[in-house]
Amino acid sequence: MTAAPAPSRLRVILHAILGTLGFTLVGFLLFSLVAALFARHLGSPRTLEELARRPTVSLLVIQGMGLVVGFGLATWLVGSRALRLNLRDLRWRTSLGWARGLGIGLLVGILPAAVAMLLGVLVGATAWIPDAGSLQEYLSRAAILLLLLAPLALAEEIIFRGVPLVLLAEAIGRPPAIVLLSFLFSLAHITNPDVTIQALGNIALAGILLSLAFYSPGGMWTAFAAHAGWNVTLALLGAPVSGLPFDIPLIDYTMRGPSWLTGGAFGPEGGLLGTLTLTAAIVLVMRWVRKDAA
């Protein structure tokens, strides 16, 4: 008996490209349908065009939940049913478990964000100043921000670190796949307010960090928690998140130094201090991934 011939490299790459395109198209189609249904029930604008013109809290809820549901279903339909990827392939089931994966992921996201902001204060380029409001108002706003930002973080992880990363890593290797999808992840933020080339570069670094977290023992749980931890930390400490300002009671984070250092109106992830902390986090998580693979 002779073994079946191995599929050619070109065939594997074509399979990955078509699978990624199919996943993306199905995901956005389902997102459009789900977002329209959410919009009706929330009493918000009835069309996606109207939603795009009204960046409200309702829009963020619709966008986040719609993307999670749409691309979650696309993961099942395209990734699991059509491409036969299982929960281990997609990094939802890992050796570390979901609870520990979430806990470590939060540390991976929270610490670099907080350190970047603290460095700005230490060098005199930024400052925290008191703002109006009460502790009760702060906690209430914090809960709302968590409900808004967590689904958006989960959605972006499903889109960029789910089926596409698994398929492309198999076809062209893990490092090239990580770099390619991190570049696309950065481009997805190109229309954000006050975005700069430097900010897009830092978002690409964040994509690399999150991809490494995806391949860590905590898998998708760690990547999701790291993404949410970074965004929520910036918002709760009074800074913009990828150019989006969130009004938080009690505290305000003001920029005094040059934008290339602090990130300016885009937030800490747009400046050199963000670059330094993201790079340090990448090095640490990369060592963790290599140690686990050894």
Those residues whose C-beta lies under 8 Å from the C-beta of residue 250, and which sit 6 or more positions away, are: 130, 131, 132, 133, 134, 135, 137, 138
Checking phi first, is residue 194 left (phi over 0); if not, alpha (psi -120 to 50) or beta?
left
Higher pLDDT, 221 or 141: 221
Higher pLDDT, 226 or 131: 226
Query: Burial level of 218, CB count in 10 A (0-12/13-18/19+)?
Result: buried
Would you give the end-to-end CA distance of the chain in angstroms?
Answer: 35
In this predicted structure, the answer to whether residue 55 has a pLDDT above a threshold of 50 is: no
In this predicted structure, the answer to whether residue 43 has a pLDDT above a threshold of 60 is: no
Q: Is the sign of the CA dihedral 236, 220, 189, 74 positive or negative?
A: negative
Q: What angle do CA 234, 182, 293 make, to 5 degrees?
A: 95
pLDDT for 57? 63
pLDDT for 147? 87
Whole-angstrom Cα distance, residue 9 to residue 279?
Answer: 33
In this predicted structure, the answer to whether residue 189 has a pLDDT above a threshold of 50 is: yes
Contact 252, 131 (CB under 8 A): yes
In this predicted structure, the answer to whether residue 5 has a pLDDT above a threshold of 60 is: no
- Secondary structure percentages of the chain, helix, strand, coil, to 5: 70, 5, 25
| Structure tokens given for 50 | 């109207």
pTM over 0.85: yes
In this predicted structure, the answer to whether residue 6 has a pLDDT above a threshold of 60 is: no
| Structure tokens given for 247 | 């009004």
Q: Residues in the chain, how many?
A: 294
pLDDT for 45? 47
Domain ranges within the chain, ordered by starting residue: 7-84, 88-293
**pLDDT mean across residues, the chain:** 90
